[in-house]
Amino acid sequence: MLKMYYLLSIFSVLAMLFFSCGPTCEPGQVLLKEKNECVVDTCINFHCGTGASCVVTTNGPKCECPSPFQSLDANGNCYYGGLDEVTCSSKGTVKVSSSGKPYCDCDSGYKQLADGVYSCVPSTLSSFCNGGTCSNGKVIPYFENKPNHGVNFFITGDGYTESDLSYNGKFAKDATKFIGYLMKREPYKKFAKYVNFYIVFAKSKQHGVDLSCSSDTVNSVFNTCFDNPGRSTIVRIKSSGRNTLNSFIRRSGKSAHLKIVILNEDRYHAGTAFPSYDLAIFPRKAGLNSEIVTDITLYHEVGHAFGKLGDEYGASGSSFGNPPALSRADRYPNLSLTNNLNIIKWKSLIPDYNVGAVEGGYYRDYNVWRPQNKCVMRSFDTTEMCPVCKEVLVKRFYSILGLRYSIDDFKKEFPPGATRNSFQTEYNTLSPIEKAQLREIDLKFHNHKHVISREELENIEY
């Protein structure tokens, strides 16, 4: 009896080994796990796209994506989710780390722009600048992901002299830093695949810009100035400066969908946008030695310039002695003159995104409604766009790219319940001193009065 037990045990072990290992396949064959048998390796001459691998199935070869990829496009390339394809532009190839996270393996002399932003950018701008200094009006393609049909962003500076324009000088460092700030933000991060970003070197004869628009003492290339200096107010740009900027941009042969001008000034917190000109202007430092303050200023002003978003400040945040006509608020996609949720502009987002009608906006505390209590377009005590403002920016991308938009597209890119970006987490982890700095900037930014002409109101946003 004992002998029979041993024989059965040995048989069981051998059977387990046989069925677990499966048959040994001949060259040109693979083991089909579903049937535990060898079949012809149909993947040999079958091509999968970027990030995908081929597996043999009972129905023939099939491309599959590793985690955390979600789906394949028509060419067999793996998506990292919706429009956020991982392509790494033309200067690198996508690879997947051992943890399953995609990254850009960039060509020599290039690096990935930022974690989660799949564009390879130059490690240094030296190759673009003869003799180490970039010439006045030089346009550098920092990255081109869709050079023939994409969304074109330009960044330049005012008040930077020749000594600031070396390939690794002050302006180059500021410009590349701000590009990184913006492209880490949603929805710009999600649409990086479609963005082309150009750096424009512009030489001023003197450092800085005019600290008062009533004087003309600083010879800067774009003729910008602070209005009502010392009170966190407006930045202005004269028509001659806009003409010079546009002439530099035309050298690239591209149309501009966004223009950013960095002021070589650290003294005042002020940011201004001119939506009619797709233009955002702000100082290289926002009055305090805090990068997150400058980052939020950039995010806010580009929201105006690129998304045509309106200010959500209440009366205490008004920058006007006499605010503009109430009826003008209704032209902005993130402001409403009704709180009727059945007809409000953003009614399609209400069921899923915790938005509604919060009273206060467009420099008034009453009779104007905004989507949520907190948003970068209202105050600096948050670091994110509300879902409505984010959707407006997404629609702008779709419009430029000639894509048909539906609310389902937005839900796919920014699923309900997962719309907060990493910068809200960043805000929550700031020190009490840093949060106090943001509150201080918030008060300084809003508690100033200035009477502005009706003509200027057509083009200016804070």
Q: What is the pLDDT of residues 186-203, one digit of tens each?
A: 999 989 989 999 999 999
- Is 88 part of any domain? no
C-alpha span between 343 and 348 (Å, rounded):
10
Q: What's the pLDDT at 384?
A: 86
35 or 165, which is more confident? 165
Least confident range from 16-25, 204-213, 368-377, 409-418: namely 16-25
Whole domain around residue 276: which residue ranges? 124-457
**Any idea what DSSP says for residue 74?**
T
pLDDT band at 431 (very low <50, low <70, confident <90, very high): low
* 361, 369 contact by CB (below 8 A): yes
235 or 160, which is more confident? 160
As separate numbers, helices (DSSP H) first and strands (DSSP E) second, the chain gives: 10, 20
Q: What's the pLDDT at 72?
A: 63
Place of tokens 């629609």: 395
Q: What's the pLDDT at 428?
A: 61
**Any idea what DSSP says for residue 23?**
P
Q: What's the pLDDT at 439?
A: 57
Which H or E run contains 21? helix 2-21
Closest CA to 153 of 256, 263, 276: 256
* 80, 95 contact by CB (below 8 A): no
Q: What is the pLDDT of residues 3-16, one digit of tens each?
A: 454 444 555 544 54
At 217, list the tokens.
């003492």
- Is 370 part of any domain? yes
- Is 251 part of any domain? yes
pLDDT band at 416 (very low <50, low <70, confident <90, very high): confident
**Sign of the alpha-carbon dihedral angle for 240, 242, 244, 250:** negative
Least confident range from 74-78, 243-247, 393-397, 448-452: namely 448-452
Cβ neighbour number for residue 228 with a 10 Å cutoff: 17
- Is 66 part of any domain? no
Q: Is the pLDDT of residue 229 over 70?
A: no
pTM of the shown model: 0.76
pLDDT band at 309 (very low <50, low <70, confident <90, very high): very high
279-283 vs 272-274, strand pairing mode? antiparallel
- Is 269 part of any domain? yes
Q: What's the pLDDT at 82?
A: 39
- Is 70 part of any domain? no
148 or 333, which is more confident? 333
CATH number of the domain enclosing 203: 3.40.390.10
Q: Is the pLDDT of residue 429 over 70?
A: no
Work out the burial of residue 34: count CB atoms within 10 Å of its CB; fewer than 13 is exposed, 13-18 middle, 19 or more buried: exposed
Outline where DSSP puts E strands in 165-311. 195-200, 224-226, 235-237, 258-263, 272-274, 279-283
DSSP 274-318: EGGGTEEEEESS-SSS-HHHHHHHHHHHHHHHHH-PPP---GGG-
Q: What's the pLDDT at 87?
A: 67
Closest CA to 55 of 31, 78, 71: 31
Least confident range from 21-35, 297-311, 374-388: namely 21-35
Cβ neighbour number for residue 174 with a 10 Å cutoff: 20
Outline where DSSP puts E strands in 123-203. 139-144, 151-158, 195-200
Percent of the chain at pLDDT > 70 equals: 74
* HSE of 226, CA atoms in CB hemisphere, 13 A: 25
Q: Bridge partners of 32?
A: 37
pLDDT band at 101 (very low <50, low <70, confident <90, very high): confident
pLDDT band at 314 (very low <50, low <70, confident <90, very high): confident
Can you tell me whether residue 82 is helix, strand or coil? Answer: coil
pLDDT band at 441 (very low <50, low <70, confident <90, very high): low
Percent of the chain at pLDDT > 90 equals: 40
* 327, 333 contact by CB (below 8 A): no
* HSE of 230, CA atoms in CB hemisphere, 13 A: 1
pLDDT band at 321 (very low <50, low <70, confident <90, very high): low
- Is 240 part of any domain? yes
At 134, list the tokens.
């970039």
* 358, 378 contact by CB (below 8 A): no
- Is 340 part of any domain? yes
Average pLDDT, stretch 137-143? 93
Place of tokens 């700030």: 181
- Across the chain, mean pLDDT equals 80
Average pLDDT, stretch 257-276? 88
At 23, list the tokens.
């048959």
Q: How many structural domains does the chain have?
A: 1
Q: What's the pLDDT at 418?
A: 58
C-alpha span between 459 and 327 (Å, rounded):
16
Q: Is the pLDDT of residue 259 over 60?
A: yes
Q: Is the pLDDT of residue 249 over 80?
A: yes
pLDDT band at 132 (very low <50, low <70, confident <90, very high): confident
**Any idea what DSSP says for residue 211?**
S
Cα 176 to Cα 12, 113, 180, 252: the distances in Å are 66, 9, 6, 18
Average pLDDT, stretch 161-167? 91
Cβ neighbour number for residue 306 with a 10 Å cutoff: 26
